[in-house]
Amino acid sequence: MKQLILSFSFFLVTLPFLIASETPFIQDYTNTLTQEQLATINALSKEIQHRDNIEFRTILVDRLDPGKSSRSQATQLANKLGVGQHNEERGALIFFSVKDRKLFIATSKAVKQQLTEPAIDEVIKLYMKPLLKMDNYAAAIEQGIAGLSKQILSPKSFITWPKWPKWSIPAIFAIFSVIGIFVNFFLFRGDKTPGQSFGDDGFDSGFGSGGSDGGGSFDGSGSGDDY
């Protein structure tokens, strides 16, 4: 009897962890996806969660709630579900309103520096939107998760710099060097004692003292598009 009680107690203690580990990474309330597609996406999300320490959750609904945008509803759902809470608050929710033809990818504060709006927009444009226009939701979700994960692991700049002639860079450097010499000579000669900083508080006073985001919760960060 004692052994039975101990076994039952152990079951009660481990039950929350068992439930959490079996929580599906994708919930389709529209019956758009087949069971096989759901299983494939769930397995991919689970693999990335263990490999990259980030949770990608996907939800498909028929329509947006009255008075809500895709951004507000995705953010609310992500907070309600606790997306990323088992992965150091690193999470993203891929949200579809199928009949409204709207997609929004909400990001937690912990990953929004990697998953910036330009980064998300590029993933949607290149990997997801062409497939969504063909109503191939399963492939769009898989490609989207893979693209977002890649962006977190290997973030790249989405700024397109102009192509300058090879000779222009040394010329620009020389021009600014000359300007710097003249500015230093005419404006600062005799006006500053050695070791004096610029301003009473110095340059450091405006940096490093800001408040923390707190991390973990979804604050409306992310991006989306119609398809």
> How does pLDDT run across 132-154, given as a tens digit for each residue?
999 999 999 999 999 999 998 87
Q: Is residue 209 part of a domain?
A: no
Q: Is residue 32 part of a domain?
A: yes
- The rounded distance, in Å, linking the Cα atoms of 116 and 130 is 21
pTM for this structure? 0.66
Q: Is residue 188 part of a domain?
A: no
- Overall domain count for the chain: 1
Q: Is residue 199 part of a domain?
A: no
Q: What residues of the chain score a pLDDT lower than 70?
A: 1-23, 155-174, 176-178, 180-216
Q: Is residue 11 part of a domain?
A: no
Q: Give pLDDT, residue 24.
A: 92
Range(s) of the domain holding residue 36? 21-157+220-226
Q: Is residue 162 part of a domain?
A: no
> Among residues 56, 59, 57, which one has the least CA distance to residue 30?
59
CATH code where residue 50 lies: 3.10.310.50
β 26-28/102-108 pair status? unpaired
| Chain-centre distance for alpha carbon 24 | 20
β 91-97/26-28 pair status? unpaired
Q: Is residue 145 part of a domain?
A: yes
